[in-house]
Chain A
Amino acid sequence: MLSYSSSTNSLWAMAWHQLKKDRAGIAGLVIVMLFLFISTGVWLGLWGNGWSDTSAQFNAHPSTSHWFGTNAIGQDIAARGIYATKVAFEVGLLVTLASLLLGLIAGTLSGFKANSKTDSLILWVMGVLDSIPFYLFVAAVAYALKQHLFAMHLAMIAVFWTSIARVIRSEVIRIKNMEYVEAGEAIGLSHFKIVLNHIIPNTTHLLLVQGTLIFVSAIKTEVILSFLGLGIKEGISWGLMIAESTQDIQAGHFANFITASGLLFLLVMGFNLLSDALQDALDPKSIGKS
C-alpha cells in the first residue's frame, strides 16, 4: 500500500518536473490560467456585465472607452468577448466533467468485465454513438429535445464520453492483470474496493490528458453549433459573436469577428499546448519518443 502511494506521487512529481521544463507547455498553462481568471471575474460580477447594453455609437472604432470598438447596435465588443469567455468555460467544464465521469464509469466497468456481456453492450453503445456524424447527432438531439437550453451540452456529452471510455477501458484491462490487483483479490478485497481504491486512482493521469482534449473539442464545437443556431440560447458566446459578425463583415467592420475568433484561438491554442505538454509528461508510453 505504501509503495503504491509513493509511486503515484513520484509520477506526479516527475510529471511536474518535466512540465516545468516544457516552455510551450508553461505558456499554455499561463494562457489557460489567464482565461480562467477572466471568466472567474465575470462570474463574480467584476467585469463584462455590460455586454448587452446598447449605446448610440454604432460600429465605433477601438478607443479607450470601447477597447475593441462597438458592434452594429452599439454594444461594447470587449465586454461581449469577455462575457463570452465565461460562457466558453461553462460549456467546456460542464461537458468535460460530465464526459469524464460517464467515460470513467463505462470504461472501468467494461474494462474490468472485459469480454463479458456487459462489456459487449458498452462497446456496442460506443460503436453506435461513434458512427453517427457528430453535427447531425447534435441536430437530432436538439430536434428531439425541442431546442432545449442544454440540448447542445447533452449531445456533446453523449458523444465525447466514448473516447474517454475507450482509453480507460484498455488501461483498466492492463492494470487488472497486474500482480497487486491479484494480491488484492487474494486477500479477499471486494471487486468494488479494488476498482475504487486501486484501479481508478491509477487512471487519473489519463483523465487529466483526456479532459484537456475534451475541453478543446467542447469550446470549438460550441462555436460552430452556435453559429448553426444549435448552440447557446441565452447570453452571448464567441460562436454567436462570429455569427452576428458575418453581417458586419459585408459592410467592412471586422472588430467583432477578430475579437471573437482571436479570443477563441488564444484559449484553444493554450489548451492545445498544455495538453501536449501533459501528454509528454504523464504518458509513460511517450518516453523515449521524441
Chain B
Amino acid sequence: MNHYLRFVLHKLIEGIPLILGVTLVSFVLMVYFGPDLTYELLGKNPSESDIIEVRQMLGYDQPFWWRYLAYLQELLTFDFGLSMVKDQPVADMLSRAIPVSLALMLPGFVLGNLLAVMLAMAAARHRGAWQDRAIMSGAVLGMSISFLVIIIAFQVIFASSYGLNWFPVRGWQVQDAQGQFNTMAYLNHVTVPTLATVFVSLGYNTRFYRAVLVEELHKDHITTATAYGHKPVTIMYKYMLKNALIPIITRVMFSIPMIVISGSLLIESYFGIPGIGLITYEAIMAGDQPVLKAVVGLTAVLFVVVLMVAEILYQLADPRINGGSGT
C-alpha cells in the first residue's frame, strides 16, 4: 500500500507543472493581454485620481507575477468577483449552470459511447465483411457532417413546423409550476440535443473503438481461445472487451471536460439552455472577462486533474503500468 501511496503522491506532484502551465496561459491571454477594463468601470469624465483608484482596484499597478498569483488565488477560492454583464457573482452563475449542463449532456454522452462500442463490436466481429464495411462507411459519413449542421438540421426536423414538430424549439423548462423537477418535461427538452450529441460522436467513437478491438483480436490469448473452440461471442465479451476497457475508459474520461464545455457551447447557445455553454457563449459575445477567466481556468485545471486521476486509476487497475510518462 505504501507503494501505491508513493505513486499517487508522485502523480500529484507531476501534475503541478501542468496546472501552473494552463493557469499561466489563461492568465496571460485573458487577464494580462486582455482588454483594459479601467474605463468600463468608470463613469463619464473621470478625474485623474478616479482612474488611479480603479487601476489599483483591478491590480493593474501590480507586477506580472503578483497578478498571476492573485489569479491563482481566485481559482483556488472560486472567487472571481462579479460578472461585468449580469452583476452577479461568477461563482453563483457557474454553480447554477453546471447541473444544467450535466443533465443536458450526460444522456447523449452515455448513449453515444454505448452505441459506438456495440457498433464497433459488430464491425470487429465481421471484420472485412459487408457488415463491417457498412458500419465503417456510415462512420465516415457521420464524421463528415459538421456538428453545427446536425444541430440546425435536427432542430428543423424534430422541433419545427417544417418537420415533425414533436419537441420544443428551444429552452429548458424542466420544472413544473410548483418548481418540482418534471421527468416528462426533462425528456421533452433533452431529446433533440441528445440525438444531436449521439449522432455527432458516433462516427468518431465507433472508429476508435473498432481500432481498439481489432488490436485486441490480434493478441495471442485470443488466438489461443479461438483455437480452443470458444464461441466468438464468449471471446468478444469475456476476453476482448475486458482487456479493451483501459483505452475505452481513457477516452470516456478525457472527453468529460471537453463535452461539458465545447459540446455544450454550440448546443446550449443554439437551443437557449442556461448551462455553462450558454454562459460562456454570452461572455464571449460581451467580452465578460471575469466569467471567461473563470471558465477557461477552471476547465483547464479540471482536465489536468482528470488526467492525473486516470493515471492513478490505471496503476490501481493494472500494476504492470509503471510511472513512466511522456512517450
Contacts and interface: CB of A to CB of B under 8 A. Distances in A.
Interface of A: 114, 119-120, 123-125, 127-129, 131-137, 139-146, 170, 173, 220, 223-224, 227-230, 239, 242, 245-246, 249, 252, 254, 257, 261, 264-265, 268-269, 272-273, 276, 289-290
Contacts of A141: 29
Chain A interface helix/strand/loop/mixed: helix
Contacts of A173: 327
B21 A242 contact: no
B148 A140 contact: no
Contacts of A239: 148
A123 B296 CA distance: 21
Contacts of A143: 29-30, 34-35, 284, 287, 289, 292
A133 B33 contact: no
Contact of B144 (A114, A170, A268): A268
Contacts, number: 138
Given A135-B265, A224-B148, A268-B144, A140 B296 contact: yes
If over half of B's interface residues share one DSSP class (helix, strand or loop), that class is named, otherwise mixed; here it is helix
A144 B33 contact: yes
A131 B146 CA distance: 23
Interface in B18-47: 18, 21-22, 24-26, 28-30, 33-35
A117 B141 CA distance: 44
Contacts of A133: 257-258, 261-262, 296, 299-300, 303
A147 B146 CA distance: 24
Contacts of A124: 17-18, 21
Contact of B30 (A125, A144, A224, A227): A144
B266 A146 contact: no
A209 to B, nearest CB: 15
Contact of B299 (A136, A257, A264, A265): A136
A128 to B, nearest CB: 3
Contacts of A170: 327
B280 A136 contact: yes
Contacts of B115: none
B135 to A, nearest CB: 14
Contacts of A135: 261-262, 265
Interface string B260-287: 0110011001000000000011001101
B229 interface: no
Contacts of A146: 35
A146 B262 CA distance: 22
Contacts of B30: 140, 143-144
Contact of A144 (B34, B127, B160): B34
B326 A123 contact: yes
B75 interface: no
Contact of B148 (A114, A128, A223, A230): A223
Given A223-B146, A272-B140, A276-B140, A257 B152 contact: yes
B152 A272 contact: no
Interface string B145-169: 1111100110010001010000000
Contacts of B128: 290
B303 to A, nearest CB: 5
Contacts of B17: 124
B74 to A, nearest CB: 16
Contacts of A127: 18, 21
